[in-house]
Amino acid sequence: MSDVVLLLRLGEISVKGFRTRRRFEKLLLRNIHDALRSNSIEYKVKKEGGRIFIYSNEESRAAQVLRRIFGVKSLSPAQEVEFESLSDLVERAAAYFSSAVKGKSFAVRARRAGAHPFTSLDIERELGARLLREGGSRVDLENPEVIAYVEVRGKRAYLFTEIIEAYGGLPIGSEGKVIALVSGGFDSAVAAWYMLRRGSEVHYLLCSLGGPVHEASALHVLKILADNWSYGYRPKLYVVDFGEILREVRRKCDSSLLTVILKRFMYRAAEAIARSEGAEAIVTGDSLGQASSQTLTNLAVSTAAVSIQVLRPLIGFDKDDIVAKAREIGTYEASARVKEYCGAFSEHPKTRAKLEEVEREEAKLDPSLLDEALSNIRIYDLRSVSVEESFERLEVDEPPDGAVIIDLRSGEKVKSWSLPGSIRLDFDQLMEGLCKLDPNKRYVLLCDEGTLSLEAAYVLRKLGIEAYSLRGGARRIRRKMGERKGGT
């Protein structure tokens, strides 16, 4: 092993009471071992006081992994040296720092743990004078170009110039389990990340509205959270097919209440899984006022469907905040490919639904709907699942010549605008009439955003029919046609 060591500083853990701190440190060490082993990094670990030391020949790669372990506030690649006296320490430190400070302004910052015949100020004064003789331009305590850090612990010292900020928080496993309702989009992934940061084991529930395409897209996002941020446990994804529930709600209930009713069913599914998993709360990516289902009134109506606590880490965030965090944690690209499932949204949703009217609409539905959906749960181990399948080959930017264009949008939207020569069928009609499609023809499917049409194209391809989804849906093609028109 190298004599270079990664010095890890703890965050909130260091201010906990003795018993809590000991438990948290034990969890943190477990998570560190899991992180380094999962990334095939050879290492040795040592804990001493409020520091953890990692010895590895893969210092740079180890540092990038360790900064993603919650509970670590910061870390520094350091040189570990042994010394006998202050003069010996200054000699060794000068040899280490001389090239870094040559021709630059610098400061020396020293701290000690243990009994020594010298103070931290003695180290700073003696080493600073020596580095001036070694070529440092001047001492600047306010805004130095280089800071020479010296951390002394007993007869060893750790020398470094860099502090790498980590994410702090609490070790995963210290704050129980939660079930995160996810779609694969920006919000739910970022909400889950914040719960991981606060020490919760996060497991996931996808109430699938878009079949295999939606499922695969969400898996891409959650795989990033599982592999890069979820050390110390095996996160699971529960997938419940909500197709039949969605169809029944659309057929029997007031369309203006569609999103609220669906959300209440999703909360109930999450509560059922939380009970079986031993989780204490469900987590959502709700941001106040971001959508019709996220008004204060509608959030209250949705929450009334369950007795378990509902946590909303993003409630005060705006979309820019959320997207910026998604970029930072690495889920942005995968989430950007997950579009809202347009079949699950009403055209004129109520923003202030009344609980009584929602319950009255729900009474029109078969009480066994949710039980039947929950009886066919699929469970993925996110750390081991493969997510290689891509659906890009199913998408086209423009309809090929001679293709039959099927518009899956509502009659109202088609009346407002449609592609010339297109045929209107809603998704259910298409699925029920699959046997009537001519297998010798080529089909292009169109919806609002390109999600429902992608699912339809996937189903048709499985039946051997050449089918494509129009990338970006009606919104993109309308914008594109408008630009062409404006340019002529």
Task: Give catalytic status of residue 207 as yes or no.
Answer: no
Q: Among 207, 253, 342, 447, which one carries the catalytic annotation?
A: 447
Task: Let me know: does 52 contact 73? Beta carbons within 8 Å.
Answer: no
Distance CA 286, CA 191 (A): 8
Tokens of 437: 């499609």
- Token look-up 């996808």 returns 206
| CB burial of residue 28 (10 Å; 0-12, 13-18, 19+) | buried
129 closest CA partner among 171, 165, 101, 162:
101
CA dist 199 and 331 (Å) reads 20
CB neighbours of residue 51 within 10 Å: 16
Q: Which residue has tokens 């699912």? A: 455
Name the residue among 416, 421, 414, 461 with its Cα closest to residue 437: 461
- 160/4 Cα distance (integer angstroms): 10
Identity of the residue numbered 312: R
Would strands 146-153 and 105-113 be described as parallel, antiparallel, or unpaired? parallel
Residue in the block written with tokens 């103070």 = 119
**Catalytically active residues, by annotation:** 447
